[in-house]
Structure 1
Amino acid sequence: MPAPKNSFKMRLKKGETQIGLWLGLGDPSVAELCAGTGFDWLLIDGEHGPNGLRDTLSQLRAIGAQTQAVVRTRDDNRAEIKQMLDIGAQTLLVPMIESGKQAAEVVRSAKYPPHGVRGVGAALARASSYNGIADYLQTANDEICVLLQVESKAGLDALDDILAQDGVDGVFVGPADLAADLGYLGRPGAPEVQTIVNDTLKKIRTAGKAAGILTSDQTLAQGYKELGVEFLAIGSDVGVLRGGLLALRKAFA
């Protein structure tokens, strides 16, 4: 029996636009609720959300097979990448990538030898159904999807080298951090920033990699969709809940 098929990765390769939602609340019940609302993918945020290893595990279980889960790690720490894969994440989004060498090391961290250095502990791992998947070690590499975030001037300068790395399935443009690094703190929608963002997304796609981005601005989101962005997040559990509550209260002001 092989490792479970990663349909998110398969659809990226086909060039489809998959619509996602950010999970920042760190609650499995919220993750379960969101998983049943029709999004193609949900991202469990371990960089800015209060999500450690066990929090992520609980949300992966809550999401189950309802939709595809993407896990954003805190950083490119090799041990954390290994643990996230062992608890069942098949798609990782790794933030703050600023060189081709760093990108290559993330890929190595996510793959078993001879293509990488992921530690072998499948017999203890949820990823292999606790050793219930006999061919997990031989088939896991093909189903791991590595997404990298470029969100700084240094990342933009190194983009060609990042895109050239084998095993990088997609590159996500982080507009908030990029805007800050370009001198537009808190203004990711500024025309000067958006020109760079759109040019970067096009460059990623031209290189044959999947391009991704997050925005809660629906006008920008529609533009990214028309551009053909392959993985597009259009909001977050935090934003949707707060927006809904404010609207409900305002209706009875």
Structure 2
Amino acid sequence: MSLRVDPTFRDVLATATRPLVGMWVCSGSPLVAEICAGSGLDWVLIDAEHSPNGLESLLAQLQAVRGYPITPLVRPPAADPVTIKQFLDLGAQNLLVPMVDTAAQARDVVRAVTYPPAGVRGVGSALARASRWNRIEGYLARAAETLSVLVQIESAEAVANVDAIAAVAGVDGLFIGPSDLAASLGVLGQQDHPDVVDAVLHCLSAARRAGRKVGVNAFDPTLAERYLDAGADFVLVGADVQLLARGTEQLAATFIPEETA
């Protein structure tokens, strides 16, 4: 019996007729991930860099969202080839790798997701959900077709090197992270600072020149619209934990009277 694999984020972006809108899934909960997967959004980013996610919770969330018309991306905690191997074997088809500052680092990421001789990904397909335990015919030979790889631009160094990073073969797209970028530029917490906005716009233009798909994190609707107008192909506009935090605060503010002095 031969099983299919889902379209990659690269495939979905290639056929999209509009920018794709997504949200973070950071709670570590398969139930929350499933709720978000049924939202009508285009994609979710399951985060393991700043969220309480390990291999087991990541697997459960990938299983929970698979039955929904949404594309899951996974962000590993770092560009570590061992972690990347484990995430791929779990069946993560779309990786967003953080803190890629140079073309050399981007090439290392591509090697980490690629089997030898072109890369260094360890071979364990018979044991892995990625190949459906060798039920996907010819998985080893065509593994690259089943994966998409995006790298995150989120430092002043990465902005300076964005043209070289975008030119790396095997990188399917760039994603710009204004929060860390603001910190790197010396304006911590000011994602709307003119220097940050200019850096994001510069990266959007560089990606477009290189023919790469490009996205950006933009919770502020005004910034999101500006970046979409500038050519962003995909955006993140919210997060499960953010929505829960603000929503519960609003309940408290609505129903609990303020203390009188």
Give the TM bin, normalised by the shorter chain: over 0.9
| Structure 2 residue matching 1:211: 3-state secondary structure | strand
User: Normalized against structure 1, the TM-score is what?
Assistant: 0.95
Say whether the 8 Å CA contact 2:75–2:96 is kept in structure 1.
yes
Measure, in 2, the Cα distance between the counterparts of 1:3 and 1:177: 37
Letter of the 1:129 partner, please give it: R
2:136 to 133, 136, 139: 133
Say whether the 8 Å CA contact 2:8–2:93 is kept in structure 1.
no
Q: Which residue of 2 aligns with 1:56?
A: 58
User: Normalized against structure 2, the TM-score is what?
Assistant: 0.92
Measure, in 1, the Cα distance between the counterparts of 2:117 and 2:250: 54
Letter of the 1:11 partner, please give it: V
C-alpha spacing 1:160/1:228, structure 2 compared with 1 (3 Å): closer
Deviations 1:118-152 (A, max 9, x none): 11111100111122212211222112111001111
| Structure 1 residue matching 2:255: 3-state secondary structure | coil
Measure, in 1, the Cα distance between the counterparts of 2:203 and 2:163: 11
Higher RCO (C-alpha under 8 Å, 6+ residues apart):
1
Q: Which residue of 1 aligns with 2:227?
A: 224
Say whether the 8 Å CA contact 2:159–2:199 is kept in structure 1.
no
Measure, in 1, the Cα distance between the counterparts of 2:246 and 2:238: 11
Q: Which residue of 2 aligns with 1:46?
A: 48
Name the stretch that deviates more: 15-24 or 60-69. 15-24
Q: How does 1:72-221 map to 2 (within 5 A)?
A: 72-221=75-224
Q: Which residue of 2 aligns with 1:6?
A: 7
- Aligned CA RMSD, in angstroms, stands at 1.5
Measure, in 1, the Cα distance between the counterparts of 2:83 and 2:219: 29
Name the stretch that deviates more: 222-231 or 34-43. 222-231
Rg (Cα) greater in structure = 2
State the shift of 1:211 in Å: 0.7
Measure, in 1, the Cα distance between the counterparts of 2:165 and 2:251: 45
Percent same amino acid at aligned positions?
45
- Structure 2 stretches lacking a partner, 5+ long: 257-261
Deviations 1:181-240 (A, max 9, x none): 111001111122112211211211221111111121111112222223112110100111
Letter of the 2:200 partner, please give it: V
